[in-house]
Amino acid sequence: MEFEIWWLLGIPVFFALGWIAARVDIKQLVSESRSLPLGYFKGLNFLLNEQPDKAIDAFIEIVKLDPETADLHFALGNLFRRRGETERAIRVHQNLLSRPDLPQEQQVHAQYELGQDYLKAGLLDRAEETFNRLIDTQYSAQARRALLEIFQREKEWTRAIEAAQALQQSGAGGRQKEIAQFYCELAQDELVHTHPDAALALLEKALNVDRKNVRAAILSGDAQLVTGDIEKALLSWRRVEHQSVPHVALVAQRLMDGYRAVGRPQEGINLLKSYLSEASSIDLLEVLFQAVIEHDGVDAANQMVSDELRRTPTLLGLDKLLEARLMNTRPEVRPELSMVKTLVHGYAQKLARYQCSHCGFKARQFYWQCPGCNHWETYPPRRTEELNVMN
């Protein structure tokens, strides 16, 4: 391809066209910025400086002067909702929806924001009605997520399953974990009303959705225990070791009680010892400690706790060791050792909590759904001190 001299003449032309386009854009930007009220920039500045109260005052003044400004209505409504003033947020978005000249896209947006207002205010019936109207719009995925949250709050687990399945089918990501937990909630209700067969059917569905669902395996054993089939219950509880070894601490007491009931306590002790060697756990140690005292005596329990403390040194383990030593010490030494045990126990209890891996919420008991952030299966089955030692 040969170079032509006249191509050089095109370079100044391109530069000129670019300069003209830039000037047009700048003029348009300046023109638009001049048409905006001064209060808009004040409000924006307050927002950037994290002063939402002053931003709200500035935006209210603009809305009074120019009630047709939809974008400012949205900004104002969101600020009200963030501050917890849900009634004012609802009025702002209802006012937008009452305007007959509002474009369709902004109507849908206003409806979505109104649904969020209702949800924040706890008006779940109105929120559900609002989000249902958004299912076939561009806010479909957000509306389905909101509906799923509503059904969980209302503990309508069957509807929650349907909502989660609809989310999955829409391509919004897998929801197997949540769906399995919803089946477990339904099964738990059946167990409360002593319907073990109905519970087992629901738990089978949970395991079909998520084979690693530990809760379903535990509840299956509980349901089989209600029917009187202890051997089947033991098999269900032992299934946990194949799903998640750390979670065996949650079924340790059930397993020990079950093996006692069938007359094989030593088998239960040996099983729990094998679990402890594989996954250290203060909860598992507690169950094993009591079982060893009962069947093998205080000296054996003392030795077991001492060995475990050497392997995994924790304050919780020391507390358990002192308890074992108190049972087998001379009367004249017991008061001093008891005082030490009381001090250690007080500090140990502060560390004997479960902690959500998502939001950090701490609790004395284990939860399948975090009370703080409402996420499922975010609690590791170990106490906070054990997690710190592992890290």
Element (H, E) at 295: helix 282-296
Question: What pLDDT shows up at residue 303?
Answer: 85
Structural domain spans, the chain: 67-173, 175-243, 353-391
Distance CA 156, CA 150 (A): 9
**Which residues pair with residue 363 across a beta bridge?**
354
Q: What are phi and psi of 147, to 5 degrees?
A: -65, -40
Torsion from C-alpha of 7, 8, 12, 13, nearest 10 degrees = -10
Q: Which residues, 6+ apart, have CB-to-CB distance to 40 below 8 Å?
A: 58, 59, 62, 72
Closest by CA position to 249, among listed 279, 277, 223:
279
Torsion from C-alpha of 165, 170, 171, 177, nearest 10 degrees = -10
Question: What pLDDT shows up at residue 42?
Answer: 53
Q: Which residues, 6+ apart, have CB-to-CB distance to 60 below 8 Å?
A: 76
At position 135, the amino acid (one-letter code) is I
Annotated binding site: 356, 359, 370, 373
**Residue whose pair of structure tokens reads 């909590």 in the numeric block:** 353
Same fold yes or no, 67-173 and 175-243: yes
Return the CATH superfamily for domain 175-243: Tetratricopeptide repeat domain (1.25.40.10)
Distance CA 186, CA 200 (A): 10
**Which residues pair with residue 355 across a beta bridge?**
362
Distance CA 308, CA 321 (A): 9
Q: Which residues, 6+ apart, have CB-to-CB distance to 361 below 8 Å?
A: 355, 370, 371, 372, 373
**Residue whose pair of structure tokens reads 């089978």 in the numeric block:** 204
Cα–Cα–Cα angle for 282, 284, 285, nearest 5°? Answer: 60
| SS3 (DSSP) at 157 | helix
Q: pLDDT tens digits, the chain, 391 residues: what are they?
A: 444 554 444 455 445 445 444 444 434 433 444 444 555 545 555 544 555 556 555 555 554 445 456 776 777 788 788 888 888 888 878 877 887 877 888 889 989 999 999 999 999 999 999 999 999 899 999 999 999 999 999 999 999 999 999 998 888 778 999 999 999 999 999 999 999 999 999 999 999 999 999 999 999 999 999 999 999 999 999 999 999 999 999 999 999 999 999 999 999 999 999 998 888 888 888 899 889 988 988 888 888 888 887 787 776 667 767 776 667 666 766 676 677 667 766 666 666 788 899 998 998 889 999 999 999 999 988 887 555 555 5
Q: How far is CA 130 from the centre of its chain?
A: 25
Question: What pLDDT shows up at residue 388?
Answer: 55
Question: What pLDDT shows up at residue 353?
Answer: 83
Crossing angle of helices 140-153 and 157-169, in 10° steps, is: 160
Q: Which residues, 6+ apart, have CB-to-CB distance to 39 below 8 Å?
A: 58, 59, 61, 62, 65
Annotated binding site for Fe cation: 356, 359, 370, 373
Cβ atoms 93, 110 nearer than 8 A? yes
Distance CA 63, CA 40 (A): 10
CATH number listed for the domain at residues 67-173: 1.25.40.10
Element (H, E) at 363: strand 362-363
Cβ atoms 176, 210 nearer than 8 A? yes
Distance CA 240, CA 231 (A): 15
Question: What pLDDT shows up at residue 299?
Answer: 84
At position 100, the amino acid (one-letter code) is P
Q: How far is CA 8 from the centre of its chain?
A: 64
- Range list of β-strands (E), 142-293: none
Question: What pLDDT shows up at residue 7?
Answer: 46
Q: What are phi and psi of 362, to 5 degrees?
A: -105, 145
Cβ atoms 121, 90 nearer than 8 A? yes
Distance CA 99, CA 195 (A): 54
